[in-house]
Structure 1
């Protein structure tokens, strides 16, 4: 069964498609004529996706995998039973058994009607799944009146039941007048749903443009800065949940516990002590190294220096080797980026990696006039902004697709430029790192 759940607006929108026979919250029943036509067009060379789009289906609504799955089933039916397989009842029949047309006698219709009524009675009696979870347990709530009205209207419309409104309303303990008032307000609800759909299309445009890796706050900043559209982040989050836009983001590893470090480094203390925002750009720098695999699993090593105030990557160096030259070249590029004019109390902070505790590295840091600070043992939070950048980098860059070191260098250069100049950050007053740095300098 599909993981996508259709809402009332989407159900009505799908029902308006002439190729759809019936729609429920989780499934779509297609007309036999469309199935036959789709199979023939597929055999003629058209892709499943192209067929569905040409016949008015929105893949963002029904799911991009739906066409392929449907055509796979329909072609199998066509090969086994031919065209008749789509127009006859096959459920409950053994393979190869003669297909018979559906029986439509009054007795069968009566049995179906009774079964439908029992189904509705059971469905109306089921409490809504718990909306809140508390420490003391789970609190269940009955379905709301609006949800009850939707259910009654859906069943009556789906099974063409007549003169059953009073019976269903009494059974569901809702007023008949309330049900008809809810029906009369349908145009208002549809207008609101149409507005939601228009906003969703704009959100989805940004979401797809960011390769499905943007959250509500990122989308809000892009809408405001690139599309000049102001939209509340709560509304964006609601529409993303409503239309099943799930960003692909890294998840915390529940099995990896943080070690509580109490022992400070013997040589260089943790002078920064997580005071990342010093108020002035180019005063506090963070540095670290990460592994980047490309081609057939070949490792490369990326060393970066980040301004802890503006979040800008001010220097970086990519190497095939993990030797000390990796961090020496990074220091040289950092000095070039500020024209070797550091603040008198400028500080560079890192973890306790062997590169940063090496005597030669510490000597070069002092020669540049920088003060060195090192995180406590086993505590990555002491260098959290640098770790955060590497996390975003690995989420948003398909570096494993690169076949050569040169391709990898180019894609990293493009990403860092994009990150510094075009990537809005909520905690930087919704500016990019470059914009925020200019803002602080102007102030």
Structure 2
């Protein structure tokens, strides 16, 4: 028996060939006339592949080894029995074919019958599953789709050749008879669609795997367009990802934790920014914050960043193992170096009410740089949402916990920020990277 398993579309294509009498999922029965014709042509010197191709067989369906195997078997039968050997039942009577069931004992026949009954009962169980429903949230939800039910009906009818049982099986599965025939009619369309899906699946999977399964639909769409020149809409990407069980790893919302009270209430400042995160001028509105990173064997480091609200570019970043004021001062020094001495008139530096930002010395340095300081309301992380969002994505996409030393951690984080600024397009930045978007704004 062939190792090739034919699908329903391929079976129908083979059945259209006039040289075929019957087709199942694993075998093809050829007409005696074709067998005689093939043997005679082969004896005259024509090759098996040529014979099968000339008689309308698609080698991509039946396999390139099939013609040679068939001709070897048929030539042997022709040599022993002649042409009559193809028109009579030879199974169990000669050197070719399967053994007859008559050779089996009564006990073997009984076991075979019991196995067949058990198999049929299992198939009926599948149809019972199609009828079963379960209540979910007050509504009933079917376990099998209509397409799956139609496929089960088609397979059962084909495998067991039940005569005139379509209406019965449709009623048993709870689907319409007309829907079943429409399903059969669309077999070729589904086959072509399946082939297209497999091609697109490989493109999406390459991007999905390279991102460590952390890229969503929007990023995949942008990468397909920018890196591969492929245009694919959201619905198609979503359908293929769902079909092949590709689920993006995302961070889960943690329980709300109230921010620590500022140790110096008299140093807090007004919320000048007031959540006006949509800005059109680069380096006019800057956001800053500090987050923690665990590495090695439970060691903790701290990351301080400054983000441009308009372009989302990370202008300055510093990693330290200490939460002392030095981390905030060094971040300011790196920011001043990145701005190259140019401070936009009236530029704002917005932060939360952490003790670093309420410290008199920090406020003095900010003022000296020519920046206006703004602070979120107490215990309200939404007032600095873009900065929190960046930290969230960073922790999702970087395997910083694998780092064993502070130097490995620094390299890992700084490399990610470099990639984020220069090579990672963002949907809301007209599909450009932060640096590309900054250049566009400056040109405008």
Residues 154 and 333 (structure 1 numbering): CA distance in 2 closer, same or farther, change over 3 Å?
same
1:435 aligns with 2:441: no
Q: How does 1:11-30 map to 2 (within 5 A)?
A: none
Confirm or deny: 8 A CA contact 1:352 1:377 kept in the other structure.
yes
What corresponds to 1:123 in structure 2? 129
What corresponds to 2:316 in structure 1? 315
Residues 170 and 440 (structure 1 numbering): CA distance in 2 closer, same or farther, change over 3 Å?
same
Confirm or deny: 8 A CA contact 1:318 1:409 kept in the other structure.
yes
Deviation at 1:143, TM superposition (A): 6.8
Runs (5+) with no aligned partner, structure 1: 1-9, 23-100
What corresponds to 1:404 in structure 2? 405
Structure 1-normalised TM-score?
0.70
Confirm or deny: 8 A CA contact 2:311 2:437 kept in the other structure.
yes
Deviation at 1:154, TM superposition (A): 3.8
Residues 399 and 120 (structure 1 numbering): CA distance in 2 closer, same or farther, change over 3 Å?
closer
2: distance between equivalents of 1:141 and 1:113?
Answer: 24
Aligned length, in residue pairs: 341
Residues 293 and 143 (structure 1 numbering): CA distance in 2 closer, same or farther, change over 3 Å?
closer
What corresponds to 1:179 in structure 2? 180
Q: How does 1:216-227 map to 2 (within 5 A)?
A: 216-227=217-228
Deviation at 1:440, TM superposition (A): 0.9
Confirm or deny: 8 A CA contact 1:128 1:143 kept in the other structure.
no
What corresponds to 1:233 in structure 2? 234
Deviation at 1:138, TM superposition (A): 2.6
What corresponds to 1:190 in structure 2? 191
What corresponds to 1:341 in structure 2? 342
Runs (5+) with no aligned partner, structure 2: 12-24, 27-106
What corresponds to 1:328 in structure 2? 329
What corresponds to 2:354 in structure 1? 353
User: In structure 1, the residue corresponding to 2:315 is in which secondary structure?
Assistant: strand
What corresponds to 1:245 in structure 2? 246
Residues 327 and 110 (structure 1 numbering): CA distance in 2 closer, same or farther, change over 3 Å?
closer
Deviation at 1:151, TM superposition (A): 2.8
Residues 229 and 11 (structure 1 numbering): CA distance in 2 closer, same or farther, change over 3 Å?
farther
2: distance between equivalents of 1:190 and 1:270?
Answer: 60
Of 96, 108, 111 in structure 1, the residue corresponding to residue 114 of structure 2 is: 108
What corresponds to 2:101 in structure 1? none
Structure 2-normalised TM-score?
0.69
Residues 127 and 355 (structure 1 numbering): CA distance in 2 closer, same or farther, change over 3 Å?
same
What corresponds to 1:426 in structure 2? 427
2: distance between equivalents of 1:177 and 1:209?
Answer: 45
Q: Over alpha carbons, which structure has the higher Rg?
A: 2
Q: Deviations over 1:283-317 (max 9, x none)?
A: 01000111122222222211100001100000111
Confirm or deny: 8 A CA contact 2:133 2:140 kept in the other structure.
no
Deviation at 1:150, TM superposition (A): 2.1
1: distance between equivalents of 2:169 and 2:423?
Answer: 56
Residues 193 and 318 (structure 1 numbering): CA distance in 2 closer, same or farther, change over 3 Å?
same
2: distance between equivalents of 1:113 and 1:238?
Answer: 34
Deviation at 1:381, TM superposition (A): 0.5
What corresponds to 1:380 in structure 2? 381
1: distance between equivalents of 2:156 and 2:173?
Answer: 13
1: distance between equivalents of 2:130 and 2:402?
Answer: 52
User: In structure 1, the residue corresponding to 2:247 is in which secondary structure?
Assistant: coil
What corresponds to 1:214 in structure 2? 215
Confirm or deny: 8 A CA contact 2:275 2:384 kept in the other structure.
yes
Q: Deviations over 1:308-362 (max 9, x none)?
A: 1100000111122211111111101111111121111100000111000000000
Q: Note the aligned Cα RMSD (angstroms).
A: 3.2
Residues 402 and 172 (structure 1 numbering): CA distance in 2 closer, same or farther, change over 3 Å?
closer
Residues 104 and 177 (structure 1 numbering): CA distance in 2 closer, same or farther, change over 3 Å?
farther
Residues 103 and 285 (structure 1 numbering): CA distance in 2 closer, same or farther, change over 3 Å?
farther
2: distance between equivalents of 1:211 and 1:140?
Answer: 33
What corresponds to 1:162 in structure 2? 162
User: In structure 2, the residue corresponding to 1:290 is in which secondary structure?
Assistant: strand
User: In structure 2, the residue corresponding to 1:272 is in which secondary structure?
Assistant: coil
Residues 105 and 162 (structure 1 numbering): CA distance in 2 closer, same or farther, change over 3 Å?
farther
Residues 439 and 297 (structure 1 numbering): CA distance in 2 closer, same or farther, change over 3 Å?
same
Moved over 6 A (4+): 141-144
2: distance between equivalents of 1:299 and 1:171?
Answer: 62
What corresponds to 2:76 in structure 1? none
What corresponds to 1:300 in structure 2? 301
